Amino acid sequence: MTDAFYTKKVKCPICNNHFTTIKVRINACIVTKKDEDFCIHYKDINPIFYEIFVCPTCAYAGSENSFQELGKNEVLKLKNAFSGRMVQRDFCKERNLNDALDSYKLALYTANIKDAKDSTIAGIALKIAWMYRYMNDKRELQFIQHALDHYLIAYEKEQLPIGNLSEIKLMYLIGELYRRVANYNEAIIWLNRVVSSPERHSSPIIERLARTQWMTLREDIKSNAAQ
């Protein structure tokens, strides 16, 4: 293990097993590219691969922040789903892209069992889409759509901001995800909301992104019509 990694001791709240997982020092990661839906590409070590903790005994999985924060009902539901499972796979070491993808799939499975918030499910689905993007695999679009469906419910029902997603940032992300799944009419509506929102003055980066993606969208529509 290189200096880029360090370890953290964790107790699984479902099977009570203690395990040691690895984490990445962010200053060891080199950004090579940022996509317009906030997916970041890294040279060598990708910290997104390590965001999900996975218990090596029962495979309960969740983000570091949510791993141990469970209500009584959630623990009960998860114990019913995970008890007696013996997973023969260790996610507590250096992860390749397949390991990272599977860690997010386990997190999605866990989130569905515990009836997690739509924003949580959307966030995990978006990361799965990014893993497929890194692989150049078309299944990316299925998970973009899945993320979009849950972000739309979150936008309606949840208190904003959601994590680092302010209302304007979420509106932008919804517009950009619609663009990526080629639903241009909806993409236009959501990107328009961003550029006409009073909030845009306090979020100049998001406003600029929305204007740039407006241009990209026009190109998408043109090239789609030409096909």
Contacting positions for Zn ion (CB under 5 A): 12, 14-15, 17, 55, 57-58, 60
Task: State the Rg of the chain over Cα.
Answer: 19
DSSP H or E run through 62: strand 61-63
Least distance (Å) from Zn ion to the CB of residue 106?
A: 11
Structural contact between residues 48 and 100, judged by C-beta atoms closer than 8 angstroms: yes
Least distance (Å) from Zn ion to the CB of residue 97?
A: 24
Between 12 and 52, CB nearer to Zn ion: 12
Between 50 and 130, CB nearer to Zn ion: 50
DSSP H or E run through 218: helix 204-226
Least distance (Å) from Zn ion to the CB of residue 13?
A: 8
Least distance (Å) from Zn ion to the CB of residue 123?
A: 22
Least distance (Å) from Zn ion to the CB of residue 26?
A: 27
Q: Give the whole-angstrom CA distance, residue 60 versus residue 1.
A: 25
Structural contact between residues 58 and 15, judged by C-beta atoms closer than 8 angstroms: yes
Between 93 and 211, CB nearer to Zn ion: 93
Between 17 and 212, CB nearer to Zn ion: 17
Q: How far is CA 86 from CA 89, 106, 124, in A?
A: 9, 14, 24
Between 111 and 147, CB nearer to Zn ion: 111
Cβ atoms within 10 Å of 153's Cβ, excluding its own: 14
